Structure 1
């Protein structure tokens, strides 16, 4: 069950984990008091040059909210039980895959009909999720099992499991579909997985408790949001090593990339940290809603969309002026952990 949260004071006090036994780090654990997840600051392969819709997992409301970004309102809600958290889209952007930590399992959503077409039961604590841009295979991180589930593109079959580090969270797949990167929150590392052999080939040490992981468009650099060291690790993907750090606000969660800058949601600070991708220096801190979590950039790099878990809103940020240009009300507990714009 999801325990009620407190909005007392700053809104930073919460109660009740979603999954039993999960270590408590304020809102940085799985559930309504959640895991320190990052969006996968997302690589939107095949997306249009702009984003028309945000597909927001609203954990408290047990729904997938489809938000019309131009109208600034919720266009539809698709009921999904099991406290939906993670989301990823198929290469053709017509299907959404949603993790259900309390299911536990996976829901497959047809976005044309706006219906759940099937569910797949999975053991443990399914949370982070990504889709292979070439094969369409679905990867689901099991927070409890130190493993990744590989699911068929139609969502009907658990194909295999891949052993990785402790408490896998954010996932990202290189554009060629050959490599899967896994942020191991309790392992303070990123697993490099060879997709062809379905085996971990290396662990890269990063900051403390990496949650979200994001790749650049070339798959050359990856960025992890390190929840308890309050920084971002920059990884040289071909070289398989950390090459730098960027300081963030308190409890960074997910990273998005837009033009020459990176954008990081800071849960406890209620901000988005902006940094220069070339110099790895801080540019600004943008105030958004309470407990920002998921973040994604439109493919043209002009707009960032931020899901604010504590205030039940989406904040829209102009990537050039670094100003908040709008706010949209959404159902209770928006996580949007993953690839959620189309």
Structure 2
């Protein structure tokens, strides 16, 4: 009995198929057919093994960093296995989290202001302002290496188009700080209106958008001049903002209104409002690589809405009737159930999976965007808030 094997070097996989090689003089018709059949099986096996290995090799390797607001730490998930590989302390109330363009550093906002319910005057509660800052994380070592001073109660931020600066929303201060990511030094502050939260950068022209909750406004900022160039009234308590890849439109998630405000990013004019189904409280936003789909976490709606940006519409779920002042609710692509109180969301490098930080269930949902299904939930820290994803070299 002769064993023939199939394998590819560089991988710890080899499949073995036992084939009986006929002896000389015994090559009758039956033996020849059996030998030929075995060789065909070996050939098919080799093709299957090679395909599996090549497919796995083409899959991007990445890490998922999750900020846990209540436990004051960051959880690291291996994107290949969706398993937790590290958890480390960073400081008080880590929320907004993003990676530097080269992926070597992760930045996370930290706040010493107490957690308060909406509408409650935070000035009435003691705050540890020494805890406010922008934490700097070594993404390879999985540890906090520095903390830079910023404004009061920093919440979300975005990195400038050139990757050199961070624009940070200071919720207590009605301002956006500008921080040099090379030195950690402040480069200025831009006044906006009360309760600034979401920050986004137009990938085309670098303009910075800041959403301000209290008055329902979005401010467009010239990053070089560090001045406001437009104010867009969206209403509905805007929480986050995302842009089309070509920079033509911006989408602001308006929590109280239950809709997405669509903004013409060239004229800075409000174009429309896309109403989400009843029970949706739009929070985090992310957009597909081709710009055809917008993904929106819905907070206590416990789902991710998928919006067709070409139609600017969503399809009504029979279980979640539409409500509010927006339009376009008759054509939702999908409402994908996830964990409790989904907030921050991010796409994997391939754009095929979406991760959601579920603040009330203390886990992260992994969503397959092709099947529109939640694949699994990963337990993380207490009060997961934001997500940043970094490709591994």
Note whether the superposition's TM-score is higher than 0.5. Answer: yes
Residue of structure 1 equivalent to 2:309: 277
Q: Do 2:104 and 2:139's aligned partners in 1 also have CA atoms closer than 8 Å?
A: yes
Matches within 5 A, 1:146-165: 146-154=174-182, 156-165=184-193
Partner Cα separation in structure 2 for residue 268 and residue 68 of structure 1: 27
Query: Quick one: which of 356, 365, 375 aligns to 1:315?
Result: 365
Q: 1:113 is matched with which residue?
A: 141
SS in 2 for 1:336: strand
Deviation of the 1:156 alpha carbon:
2.4
Q: Distance in 1 between matches of 2:61 and 2:213?
A: 30
- Secondary structure of the equivalent of 1:223? strand
Question: Is 1:201 paired with 2:250?
Answer: no
The 1:85–1:155 alpha-carbon spacing in structure 2 relative to 1, beyond 3 Å, is: farther
Structure 2 spans left out of the alignment, 5+ residues? 1-57, 113-130, 315-332
In 2 relative to 1, CA 307–135 (structure 1 residues): closer, same or farther, beyond 3 Å?
A: closer
CA distance in 1, matches of 2:301, 2:158: 27
How far has the Cα of 1:123 moved from its partner? 3.7
Question: Equivalent residue for 2:284?
Answer: 254
Question: What residue is the counterpart of 1:78 in the other structure?
Answer: 88
TM-score under structure 1 normalisation? Answer: 0.82
Partner of 2:210: 182
**Greater Cα radius of gyration, structure 1 or 2:** 2
| Alpha-carbon distance between aligned partners in 1 of 2:68 and 2:205, rounded to the nearest angstrom | 29
> What secondary structure is seen at the aligned counterpart in 2 of 1:253?
coil
User: What does residue 33 of structure 1 align with?
Assistant: none
CA–CA distance in structure 1, aligned partners of residues 59 and 233 of structure 2: 35
Q: Which of the two has greater helix per residue?
A: 2
Cα distance in 2, alignment partners of residues 51 and 213 from structure 1: 27
CA contact under 8 A between 2:297 and 2:344: conserved in structure 1? yes
Residue 310 of structure 1 deviates from its aligned partner by 0.8
- SS state at 2:141 partner: coil
**Runs of 4+ displaced beyond 3 Å:** 48-51, 339-342
The offset of 1:177, in angstroms, is 5.8
Q: Kindly provide the CA deviation profile for residues 320-340 of structure 1, in whole angstroms up to 9, marking residues without a partner as x.
A: 221112221111110016x44
Higher RCO structure, 1 or 2 (CA under 8 Å, sep 6+): 1
Offset at residue 253 of structure 1 (A): 0.6
Asked if 2 retains the 8 angstrom alpha-carbon contact of 1:167 and 1:185, the reply is: yes
Relative to structure 1, the CA distance from residue 49 to residue 177 in structure 2 (aligned partners, 3 Å threshold; closer, same or farther) is farther
Cα RMSD over matched residues?
Answer: 1.8
| Matched-pair contact (CA < 8 Å) for 2:150–2:179 | no
**Worse-matched range after superposition: 99-108 or 248-257:** 248-257
- Counterpart mapping for 1:198-277 below 5 A: 198-248=226-276, 249-258=279-288, 259=290, 260-277=292-309
Q: TM-score, normalised by structure 2?
A: 0.71
Number of residue pairs aligned between Structure 1 and Structure 2? 294
| 1:176 CA drift (Å) | 4.5
